[in-house]
């Protein structure tokens, strides 16, 4: 269960205040993988980061009875002076998991080779994404937050990423942002549409996609 209580968030953009989440009160059910839909700029990534605790809302709070991932693949919290291995170890200690097992999983999964042992500041964006995705998959969460990062690297790596994510989904749920409807249909069974600061929940994913397509137009 994820519950939004009086949740609001706005930003100043070119001297004007834009409300992206407007006094949101809604409970998302347990055990459903949700597609998070909305036009570009609607605030989907902002909402995911608020759920994850990366951003702070202007008002209200998010309440959950399960464990939540950070946005899968998010590399913004990596310490640039630390190596990939050191970052993984640090996160493993924070979440109370076996750091040796986590480090071994991420090293194998991310396919960074010797770069795993050099500072993250030297990584390309793609390497950071691989490290972040591997780290996200290496820790088991009740709900994974996914923001357009299931396509990372070449075809072989994409297939491996998809396979491990599908394995995690056997025992967990997800909230997923993607502009690819086929991808959402593969992973999600319900949907929420963020429009003008309001969130609309649909138990049937196709109903959510229908509203989304009406909003964005032809």
The string of pLDDT tens digits covering residues 164-182 is: 888 898 889 999 998 889 8
Of the candidates 173, 169, 162, the one whose C-alpha atom is nearest the C-alpha of residue 33 is 173
**Residue 25 pLDDT > 90, yes or no?**
yes
Domain covering 21-55+142-161+169-218: architecture: 3-Layer(aba) Sandwich (3.40)
**Cα–Cα distance for residue pair 106/138, rounded to 1 Å:** 7
Averaged pLDDT of the chain: 90
Q: Per-residue pLDDT for 159 more than 90?
A: no
pLDDT of residue 64: 92
Instruction: For residues 181-205, give the mean pLDDT.
Output: 93
Please report the pLDDT score of residue 212 as a whole number.
96
H helices, E strands: number in the chain: 7, 9
8-22 pLDDT per residue, tens:
999 988 888 889 999
pLDDT on residue 186: 87
Is the pLDDT assigned to residue 152 strictly greater than 70?
no
Read off the pLDDT of residues 90-138 as tens digits, 9 standing for 90 and up: 999 999 999 999 999 999 999 999 999 999 999 998 888 889 889 989 9
Is the CB of residue 116 less than 8 Å from the CB of residue 98? no
216, containing H or E segment: helix 205-216
Q: Report the share of the chain in percent with pLDDT over 70.
A: 95
162 or 148: which leads in pLDDT: 162
First to last CA, the chain: 34
- Identify the weakest region by mean pLDDT among 69-78, 102-111, 113-122, 197-206: 69-78
Cα within 13 Å of Cα(157), Cβ side: 18
pTM, rounded to two decimals: 0.86
Quote the radius of gyration of the chain (alpha carbons, Å).
18
| Least trusted range by pLDDT, from 33-47, 132-146, 151-165 | 151-165
Residue 74 reports pLDDT greater than 70 = no
The sheet with strand 2-13 has its strands ordered as 16-28, 2-13, 59-64
Q: What is the DSSP letter of 29?
A: P
Average pLDDT, stretch 31-39? 92
Is the pLDDT at 154 greater than 70? The verdict is no
């Amino acid at each position: 269960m994820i519950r939004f209580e009086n949740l609001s968030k706005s930003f100043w953009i070119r001297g004007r205040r834009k409300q992206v989440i407007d006094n949101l009160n809604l409970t998302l059910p347990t055990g459903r993988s949700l597609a998070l839909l909305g036009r570009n700029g609607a605030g989907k990534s902002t909402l995911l980061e608020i759920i994850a605790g990366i951003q702070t809302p202007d008002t209200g709070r998010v309440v959950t009875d399960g464990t939540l991932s950070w946005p899968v693949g998010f590399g913004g919290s990596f310490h640039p002076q630390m190596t990939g291995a050191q970052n993984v170890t640090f996160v493993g200690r924070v979440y109370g998991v076996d750091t040796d097992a986590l480090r071994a999983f991420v090293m194998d999964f991310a396919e960074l080779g010797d770069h795993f042992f050099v500072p993250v500041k030297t990584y390309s964006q793609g390497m950071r994404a691989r490290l972040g995705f591997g780290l996200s998959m290496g820790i088991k969460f009740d709900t994974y937050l996914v923001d357009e990062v299931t396509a990372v690297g070449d075809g072989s790596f994409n297939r491996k990423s998809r396979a491990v994510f599908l394995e995690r989904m056997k025992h967990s749920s997800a909230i997923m942002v993607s502009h690819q409807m086929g991808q959402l249909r593969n992973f999600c069974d319900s949907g929420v549409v963020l429009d003008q600061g309001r969130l609309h929940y649909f138990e049937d994913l196709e109903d959510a996609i229908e509203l989304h397509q009406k909003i964005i137009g032809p």
